[in-house]
Amino acid sequence: MPKQTFFNLPEKKRQTLMRAVEMEFSRVPMYEASIANIVKAADIPRGSFYQYFADKEDAFFFLLDKLSSERKDLFVSLLKQHDGDLVESIAAFFQTVITEGENLDFMKNAFLNMTHEIEDSIARIFSDRKDNQEFREVSALIDKQKLNITDETELFHVIQILTSVMVHNFVETFARNLSDKEAMDHLSIELNLLKAGVYKHE
């Protein structure tokens, strides 16, 4: 989390600094990123960076959490557009992220250098803890009549499974440089298998 001095900055300076942060983490993974490049792009002294962030990891996760929050708003809007259809909303979310291009280089580096902390931040787009207010708000938008679940705990785990499938597909898409069509075809196969169930019905 940034220090209070970061939040005390004028809005324009905060935006300039965060653009510099995103530019560097879009260029290389977090562990290769250079604070020297960030401060040069932001046109601030190196010492000023440490007045705003503890280290480059602090800056990276602040940006990742910010983008994850924005993506959460996108997911909620897609749930509304798709009348609460959870699988269709996740497919639409995946397609939007890979085709819109915004923050794509940053997200690519994050997915291809996944750690538990990065995965945790991304997973919070769809579900955090099943007992918190945000999960309840998302749950209220989901058409549960379409799902083979009995309670909120099972819904939480269904979302976790779908999130894992989607994260895997992001990694595959970025690692193998799949076209948008190839990426969507792969995701659709896996989502359809989950919808049908992997066991034959007697």
Work out the number of other CB atoms within 10 angstroms of the CB of residue 104: 14
pLDDT of residue 131: 59
Residue 90, C-beta contacts closer than 8 angstroms, at least 6 positions apart: 75, 126, 162, 163, 166, 191
Query: What's 113's DSSP letter?
Result: T
Which residue do the tokens 């595959």 mark? 172
pLDDT of residue 126: 75
pLDDT of residue 130: 54
pLDDT of residue 28: 94
Token couple for 121: 């931040």
- Half-sphere exposure at residue 175, Cβ-oriented, CA atoms within 13 angstroms: 10
The model carries a pTM of 0.87
pLDDT of residue 122: 82
Are the C-beta atoms of 67 and 107 separated by less than 8 Å?
Answer: yes
Are the C-beta atoms of 167 and 111 separated by less than 8 Å?
Answer: yes
Helices within 85-151 (DSSP H only) = 86-100, 104-112, 116-123, 133-141
pLDDT of residue 132: 75
pLDDT of residue 180: 94
**Using CA atoms, how far apart are residues 102 and 109, in angstroms rounded to an integer?**
13
Q: What angle do CA 23, 28, 33 make, to 5 degrees?
A: 80
Are the C-beta atoms of 147 and 155 separated by less than 8 Å?
Answer: yes
pLDDT of residue 120: 84
pLDDT of residue 134: 79
**Using CA atoms, how far apart are residues 42 and 21, in angstroms rounded to an integer?**
8
pLDDT of residue 121: 83
pLDDT of residue 185: 97
Residue 59, C-beta contacts closer than 8 angstroms, at least 6 positions apart: 2, 21, 38, 49, 52, 53
Q: What is the pLDDT along the chain (202 residues), one digit of tens a residue?
A: 899 999 999 999 999 999 999 999 999 999 999 999 999 999 999 999 999 999 999 999 999 999 988 888 999 999 999 999 999 999 999 999 999 877 899 999 999 998 888 888 887 777 666 557 778 888 999 999 999 999 999 999 999 999 999 999 999 999 999 999 999 999 999 999 999 888 887 6
pLDDT of residue 90: 95
Which residue do the tokens 């499938």 mark? 165
In the chain, the largest separation of any two C-alpha atoms, in whole Å, equals 69
Task: Give the closest residue to 114 by CA, choosing from 158, 54, 175, 159.
Answer: 175
